[in-house]
Amino acid sequence: MEDMALFGLDHLYSGTFLRKCIGSKILHFDLDCFYAAVEMRDQPHLRTVPLAIGGPPNSRSVLCTANYEARKFGIRSGMSSSEAVRLCSHLVILPPDFSKYKSVSEKVFTIFQNYTEKIEGLSLDEAYLDVTQESKAVFASSLAKDIQKKVLKETELTISCGVSYNKFLAKVASDWRKPNGFYVITPSSAPSFVTQLKIQYLFGIGKKTVARLNEMGIETCLDIQKMSPVRLKSLFGSRYLDIFLMAHGIDTRRVESGHERKSFSNEETFSRDLFDENEQKQGLFRVYKDWRISFFKKERLDCYDVTHLHLKVKYFDHRVVTHERKYCGSLEFNDFELLFDFLKSKCAEPIRLIGVGVRLEKKSSFKQLSFE
């Protein structure tokens, strides 16, 4: 303990510090074998075969990812395509379709946005959500399960989720039961969880460092917990405090969203094309109604000004037209009529899809709220 005081670590044992560290509710989401899963969804014959996404084996290219069937053969992201084919001769390799993955990712992030504004996207398929506020009304784990279900329903993809009180543990948890995983680490289960946790899970420790530490007999977080600050400093340099804290299940990094909702929209592809004006009006009204319900459920509308109304129409032959009109102030009940006015000028042909939305601007008096 004297050692701790010497290194300024004694405050870690104060109640205030610990309470601050365990008071948050953080979710970490990560889609399962993302690029491969999108291709398996779109091409059912690929669902049961070992599949990778990447360049062809006769070139000097690597794999972006592989499905779980291919992983049984030892195939991994970043492996050269030629090595992968050596491990599994019947591996199917497809070239990546980035624009498709981007649009799927946007759908998933739109789902996240319906639950909280505090979202930190790490890549197309991975994000942290801080649901501390939202979980005062609903358990964080229920929110997490709800999001998993929504993602599955709307994208036909499975997403793994970890729930905990900080970023480090939430991320470890989302990986714990992959694929389609769900795992919760609470403040009371964390101490025993981390003692057995392998050091490769610690954020920011590379493969080489892990190998070097393993050679010294350091394998779990418990081994790090037992080290003196002098030893920690000699092994990890300036990062020793972060590593020491993580090994105790403590991580004070915040979810950095910087996010403001810029728009909110809803669209529906109809089960059959809508021909006459009356049908189209009904279709528009349904889309509009769902949009309004979810918007008002999710948003504190008083934080935003509506700047534009937006309408999207896709015709039977997949041609898309969009129309946007300036709009000032808050939403009233007459905006449906406004939207319908737009639609009337566009409805000469059968309609396959209608989308409605608004563009928003956060009122300046509310701008600082997201940084609370």
78: partner contacted, choices Mg ion, ligand TTP, none (Cβ within 5-8 A by kind): ligand TTP
Q: In whole angstroms, how close is the CB of 204 to Mg ion at the nearest point?
A: 19
HSE-CB of 220 using CA atoms within 13 angstroms: 9
How near is the Cβ of 77 to ligand TTP at its closest, in Å?
4
Residues 58-87 within binding reach of ligand TTP (CB under 6 A): 64-65, 77-78
Residue nearest to Mg ion (CB): 30
Site membership for ligand TTP, residue 126 (CB under 6 A): yes
Q: Least distance from C-beta 198 to ligand TTP, angstroms? A: 17
The β-bridge partners of 52 are 66, 93
With respect to ligand TTP, which residue has the nearer C-beta, 164 or 174? 174
- The catalytic residues are 126
Assess contact for 52 and 65: CB atoms under 8 A.
yes
Least separation in angstroms between CB 31 and Mg ion? 5
The least distance separating ligand TTP from the CB of residue 34, rounded to whole angstroms, comes to: 3
Distance CA 176, CA 156 (A): 22
Residue closer to ligand TTP by CB (options 180, 252) is 180
For ligand TTP, the closer of residues 33 and 194 by Cβ is: 33
Query: Is residue 33 near ligand TTP by the rule CB under 6 A?
Result: yes
**Calpha distance 58→51 (Å, rounded):** 17
> Would you count residue 335 as binding ligand TTP (CB under 6 A)?
no
Selection from ligand TTP, Mg ion, none that 178 binds (CB < 5 to 8 A by kind) is ligand TTP
Is the distance from CB of 308 to CB of 283 less than 8 angstroms? Answer: no
Query: Residue 104: which of 48, 175, 44, 35 has the closest Cα?
Result: 35
- State yes or no: residue 359 binds ligand TTP (CB under 6 A): no
Q: Which is nearer to ligand TTP, 57 or 179 (CB)?
A: 179
Binding partner at 65 among ligand TTP, Mg ion, none, C-beta below 5 to 8 Å by kind: ligand TTP
Indicate the residue among 41 and 308 with the shorter CB distance to ligand TTP. 41
Cβ proximity to Mg ion, 30 vs 120, nearer residue: 30
Radius of gyration (Cα) for the chain, nearest Å? 25
| Min dist. Cβ of residue 360 to ligand TTP (A) | 30
Window 163-182: residues binding ligand TTP (CB under 6 A): 178-179
Size of the site for ligand TTP (CB under 6 A): 15
Report what 236 binds from ligand TTP, Mg ion, none; CB cut-off 5-8 Å by kind: none
Q: Which of 115, 119, 99 is nearest to 150 (CA)?
A: 115
- The answer to the question of residue 34 lying near ligand TTP (CB under 6 A) is yes
- Closer to Mg ion by CB, 125 or 273: give it: 125
Report the residue from 26, 27, 31, 199 that binds ligand TTP according to the rule CB under 6 A. Answer: 31
Q: Tell me which stretch binds ligand TTP (CB under 6 A): 42-50, 86-94, 122-130, 311-319.
A: 122-130
CB of 32 to Mg ion, least distance (A): 6
Q: What are phi and psi of 3, to 5 degrees?
A: -55, -45
Residues 293, 299, 303, 307, Cα dihedral to 10°: -50
Residue 353 amino acid letter: L
Binding site for Mg ion (CB under 5 A): 30-31, 34, 125
User: 151-166 burial string, b = 16+ CB within 10 Å, else e?
Assistant: beeebebbbbbbbbbb
Pick what 117 binds: Mg ion, ligand TTP, none; C-beta below 5 to 8 Å, kind-dependent.
none
Q: Vertex 162, ends 157 and 163: CA angle to 5°?
A: 130
Binding site for ligand TTP (CB under 6 A): 30-35, 64-65, 77-78, 123, 125-126, 178-179
